[in-house]
Structure 1
Protein backbone atom coordinates (compact mmCIF):
# COMPACT_ATOMS: atom_id res chain seq x y z
CA UNK A 1 0.00 0.00 0.00
CA UNK A 2 1.16 3.53 -0.72
CA UNK A 3 0.37 6.55 1.42
CA UNK A 4 0.83 10.10 0.21
CA UNK A 5 2.24 11.95 3.22
CA UNK A 6 1.32 15.45 4.35
CA UNK A 7 4.86 16.65 3.62
CA UNK A 8 3.98 16.52 -0.09
CA UNK A 9 4.12 20.11 -1.32
CA UNK A 10 5.58 21.94 -4.26
CA UNK A 11 8.12 19.76 -6.00
CA UNK A 12 8.46 17.41 -3.00
CA UNK A 13 6.54 14.14 -3.15
CA UNK A 14 6.49 12.30 0.19
CA UNK A 15 5.25 8.72 0.27
CA UNK A 16 5.24 5.71 2.55
CA UNK A 17 5.24 2.22 1.06
CA UNK A 18 3.78 -0.36 3.43
CA UNK A 19 4.24 -4.09 2.84
CA UNK A 20 3.75 -4.76 -0.89
CA UNK A 21 2.98 -2.25 -3.67
CA UNK A 22 0.19 -3.21 -6.07
CA UNK A 23 -1.13 -1.84 -9.36
CA UNK A 24 -3.84 0.05 -7.43
CA UNK A 25 -1.07 1.96 -5.63
CA UNK A 26 0.38 3.13 -8.94
CA UNK A 27 -3.10 4.19 -10.07
CA UNK A 28 -2.93 6.66 -7.15
CA UNK A 29 0.76 7.62 -7.33
CA UNK A 30 1.47 8.03 -11.05
CA UNK A 31 -1.16 10.73 -11.69
CA UNK A 32 0.24 12.73 -8.76
CA UNK A 33 3.79 12.43 -10.10
CA UNK A 34 2.70 13.25 -13.65
CA UNK A 35 0.73 16.29 -12.45
CA UNK A 36 3.69 17.60 -10.45
CA UNK A 37 6.01 17.08 -13.42
CA UNK A 38 3.69 19.35 -15.40
CA UNK A 39 4.31 22.12 -12.85
CA UNK A 40 7.97 21.61 -11.92
CA UNK A 41 11.10 20.83 -13.92
CA UNK A 42 12.49 18.45 -11.30
CA UNK A 43 10.89 16.55 -8.45
CA UNK A 44 12.27 15.49 -5.09
CA UNK A 45 10.94 12.21 -3.72
CA UNK A 46 10.88 11.11 -0.09
CA UNK A 47 10.21 7.35 -0.22
CA UNK A 48 9.73 5.76 3.20
CA UNK A 49 9.41 1.98 3.51
CA UNK A 50 7.61 0.34 6.42
CA UNK A 51 7.62 -3.46 6.62
CA UNK A 52 8.23 -3.20 2.86
CA UNK A 53 8.22 -6.47 0.94
CA UNK A 54 8.52 -5.15 -2.61
CA UNK A 55 6.13 -5.08 -5.54
CA UNK A 56 3.56 -7.29 -7.16
CA UNK A 57 4.91 -8.17 -10.62
CA UNK A 58 2.49 -5.96 -12.57
CA UNK A 59 3.15 -3.05 -10.19
CA UNK A 60 6.91 -3.50 -10.57
CA UNK A 61 6.50 -3.28 -14.36
CA UNK A 62 4.48 -0.02 -14.01
CA UNK A 63 7.20 1.38 -11.75
CA UNK A 64 10.01 0.38 -14.11
CA UNK A 65 8.29 1.95 -17.15
CA UNK A 66 7.68 5.22 -15.30
CA UNK A 67 11.23 5.31 -13.93
CA UNK A 68 12.78 4.77 -17.36
CA UNK A 69 10.61 7.44 -18.98
CA UNK A 70 11.30 9.98 -16.22
CA UNK A 71 14.88 9.10 -15.26
CA UNK A 72 16.00 12.73 -15.63
CA UNK A 73 12.97 14.33 -13.97
CA UNK A 74 14.08 13.77 -10.39
CA UNK A 75 16.60 15.94 -8.57
CA UNK A 76 16.79 14.04 -5.26
CA UNK A 77 15.43 10.79 -3.88
CA UNK A 78 15.53 10.04 -0.15
CA UNK A 79 14.93 6.38 0.57
CA UNK A 80 14.10 5.60 4.19
CA UNK A 81 14.05 1.98 5.23
CA UNK A 82 14.72 -0.68 7.78
CA UNK A 83 16.44 -3.50 5.89
CA UNK A 84 19.87 -3.92 4.30
CA UNK A 85 18.35 -4.94 0.95
CA UNK A 86 16.51 -1.59 0.86
CA UNK A 87 19.83 0.21 1.18
CA UNK A 88 21.19 -1.93 -1.67
CA UNK A 89 18.12 -1.01 -3.74
CA UNK A 90 19.07 2.67 -3.35
CA UNK A 91 22.58 1.91 -4.59
CA UNK A 92 21.25 -0.21 -7.47
CA UNK A 93 19.05 2.67 -8.69
CA UNK A 94 21.89 5.20 -9.07
CA UNK A 95 22.98 4.32 -12.62
CA UNK A 96 19.39 4.64 -13.87
CA UNK A 97 18.77 8.26 -12.88
CA UNK A 98 20.54 11.58 -12.64
CA UNK A 99 18.94 12.16 -9.24
CA UNK A 100 21.04 12.30 -6.12
CA UNK A 101 19.92 9.27 -4.11
CA UNK A 102 20.55 8.84 -0.40
CA UNK A 103 19.48 6.04 1.92
CA UNK A 104 18.47 6.76 5.51
CA UNK A 105 17.63 4.29 8.27
CA UNK A 106 14.06 4.55 9.55
CA UNK A 107 15.12 6.39 12.72
CA UNK A 108 16.58 9.15 10.48
CA UNK A 109 13.20 10.19 8.99
CA UNK A 110 13.56 13.82 10.10
CA UNK A 111 17.05 14.04 8.63
CA UNK A 112 15.82 12.56 5.35
CA UNK A 113 12.93 15.03 5.16
CA UNK A 114 15.26 17.94 5.88
CA UNK A 115 17.66 16.74 3.17
CA UNK A 116 14.96 16.26 0.54
CA UNK A 117 13.64 19.79 1.18
CA UNK A 118 17.09 21.47 1.13
Structure 2
Protein backbone atom coordinates (compact mmCIF):
# COMPACT_ATOMS: atom_id res chain seq x y z
CA UNK A 1 0.00 0.00 0.00
CA UNK A 2 1.16 3.53 -0.75
CA UNK A 3 0.31 6.40 1.57
CA UNK A 4 1.09 10.11 1.37
CA UNK A 5 3.57 11.50 3.86
CA UNK A 6 2.11 14.68 5.27
CA UNK A 7 3.94 17.69 6.70
CA UNK A 8 6.40 17.98 3.84
CA UNK A 9 7.08 21.19 1.92
CA UNK A 10 4.75 21.86 -1.01
CA UNK A 11 7.50 21.18 -3.55
CA UNK A 12 8.02 17.59 -2.28
CA UNK A 13 5.89 14.51 -2.80
CA UNK A 14 6.39 11.94 -0.06
CA UNK A 15 5.21 8.35 -0.33
CA UNK A 16 5.34 5.64 2.35
CA UNK A 17 5.26 2.06 1.02
CA UNK A 18 4.13 -0.73 3.35
CA UNK A 19 2.86 -4.23 2.72
CA UNK A 20 1.91 -5.14 -0.84
CA UNK A 21 2.11 -2.36 -3.42
CA UNK A 22 -0.20 -2.79 -6.41
CA UNK A 23 -0.71 -1.20 -9.80
CA UNK A 24 -3.78 0.56 -8.37
CA UNK A 25 -1.70 2.06 -5.54
CA UNK A 26 0.67 3.62 -8.05
CA UNK A 27 -2.20 4.81 -10.28
CA UNK A 28 -4.27 6.30 -7.44
CA UNK A 29 -1.60 7.66 -5.10
CA UNK A 30 1.70 8.29 -6.87
CA UNK A 31 0.81 9.24 -10.44
CA UNK A 32 -1.72 12.01 -9.65
CA UNK A 33 0.62 13.70 -7.17
CA UNK A 34 3.64 13.51 -9.49
CA UNK A 35 1.62 14.95 -12.37
CA UNK A 36 0.34 17.73 -10.11
CA UNK A 37 3.90 18.66 -9.13
CA UNK A 38 5.07 18.69 -12.74
CA UNK A 39 2.19 20.96 -13.78
CA UNK A 40 2.67 23.28 -10.82
CA UNK A 41 6.44 23.63 -10.69
CA UNK A 42 7.92 21.74 -13.62
CA UNK A 43 10.07 19.45 -11.47
CA UNK A 44 9.73 16.55 -9.07
CA UNK A 45 11.24 16.18 -5.62
CA UNK A 46 10.34 12.69 -4.46
CA UNK A 47 10.74 11.04 -1.07
CA UNK A 48 10.02 7.31 -0.89
CA UNK A 49 10.03 5.58 2.48
CA UNK A 50 10.19 1.90 1.69
CA UNK A 51 9.14 -0.19 4.69
CA UNK A 52 8.28 -3.22 2.62
CA UNK A 53 10.41 -5.63 0.67
CA UNK A 54 10.79 -4.72 -2.99
CA UNK A 55 9.37 -8.18 -3.75
CA UNK A 56 6.03 -6.95 -2.35
CA UNK A 57 5.58 -4.68 -5.37
CA UNK A 58 3.42 -6.41 -7.96
CA UNK A 59 4.60 -6.48 -11.57
CA UNK A 60 1.86 -3.97 -12.45
CA UNK A 61 3.12 -1.61 -9.74
CA UNK A 62 6.70 -1.83 -11.06
CA UNK A 63 5.50 -1.27 -14.61
CA UNK A 64 3.52 1.85 -13.67
CA UNK A 65 6.37 3.15 -11.53
CA UNK A 66 8.82 2.83 -14.42
CA UNK A 67 6.27 4.40 -16.77
CA UNK A 68 5.95 7.46 -14.48
CA UNK A 69 9.72 7.73 -14.33
CA UNK A 70 10.16 7.65 -18.07
CA UNK A 71 7.20 9.93 -18.84
CA UNK A 72 8.64 12.61 -16.55
CA UNK A 73 12.31 11.81 -17.15
CA UNK A 74 13.56 15.38 -17.47
CA UNK A 75 11.48 16.68 -14.56
CA UNK A 76 13.18 14.62 -11.80
CA UNK A 77 15.02 17.08 -9.59
CA UNK A 78 15.71 15.06 -6.43
CA UNK A 79 14.86 11.54 -5.30
CA UNK A 80 15.43 10.32 -1.75
CA UNK A 81 14.78 6.65 -1.03
CA UNK A 82 14.69 5.57 2.61
CA UNK A 83 15.05 1.85 3.27
CA UNK A 84 17.02 -0.66 5.29
CA UNK A 85 17.36 -2.90 2.24
CA UNK A 86 20.99 -2.60 1.10
CA UNK A 87 20.11 -3.24 -2.54
CA UNK A 88 17.59 -0.37 -2.50
CA UNK A 89 20.04 2.06 -0.93
CA UNK A 90 22.74 1.01 -3.40
CA UNK A 91 20.37 1.33 -6.38
CA UNK A 92 19.27 4.78 -5.20
CA UNK A 93 22.87 5.95 -5.10
CA UNK A 94 23.63 4.46 -8.54
CA UNK A 95 20.39 5.88 -9.99
CA UNK A 96 21.86 9.37 -9.71
CA UNK A 97 24.00 8.55 -12.75
CA UNK A 98 20.94 7.61 -14.80
CA UNK A 99 18.65 10.61 -14.24
CA UNK A 100 19.21 14.30 -14.82
CA UNK A 101 18.49 15.14 -11.16
CA UNK A 102 20.01 14.02 -7.87
CA UNK A 103 19.30 10.73 -6.14
CA UNK A 104 20.35 9.54 -2.70
CA UNK A 105 19.67 6.51 -0.53
CA UNK A 106 19.12 6.68 3.24
CA UNK A 107 18.57 4.14 6.01
CA UNK A 108 15.25 4.16 7.90
CA UNK A 109 16.93 5.68 10.96
CA UNK A 110 18.09 8.55 8.71
CA UNK A 111 14.56 9.64 7.75
CA UNK A 112 14.98 13.11 9.27
CA UNK A 113 18.17 13.59 7.26
CA UNK A 114 16.39 12.43 4.09
CA UNK A 115 13.53 14.87 4.66
CA UNK A 116 16.00 17.70 5.22
CA UNK A 117 17.95 16.79 2.05
CA UNK A 118 14.87 16.46 -0.18
CA UNK A 119 13.35 19.70 1.16
CA UNK A 120 16.47 21.79 0.46
CA UNK A 121 16.00 23.89 -2.63
CA UNK A 122 19.08 24.26 -4.78
TM-score by length of 1: 0.90
Higher strand share: 1
RMSD: 1.5
- Matched-pair contact (CA < 8 Å) for 2:12–2:119: yes
Gapped regions of structure 2 (runs ≥ 5) = none
Unmatched 5+ stretches in structure 1: none
Q: Do structure 1's residue 63 and structure 2's residue 85 form an aligned pair? A: no
Contact kept in structure 2, 1:7 and 1:13, CA below 8 Å: no
Runs of 4+ in 1 over 3 A off after TM superposition: none
Mean CA deviation greater in 90-99 or 3-12: 90-99
Q: Per the alignment, in what secondary structure is the counterpart of residue 21 of structure 1?
A: coil
Q: 2:96 aligns with which of 90, 94, 97?
A: 94
8 Å Cα contact 1:17-1:52 kept in structure 2: no
Q: Residue by residue, what CA displacement relative to the aligned partner does 1:18-69 show, whole Å, maximum 9, x if unpaired? A: 1332111112220111112110121211111113334211111111111111
Aligned to 2:54: 53
Query: Aligned equivalents of 1:90 and 1:66: distance in 2?
Result: 16
* Alpha-carbon distance change, 26 to 51 in structure 1, aligned in 2, over 3 angstroms: closer
| CA–CA distance in structure 1, aligned partners of residues 64 and 97 of structure 2 | 19
Distance 1:53 1:102 in 2: 17
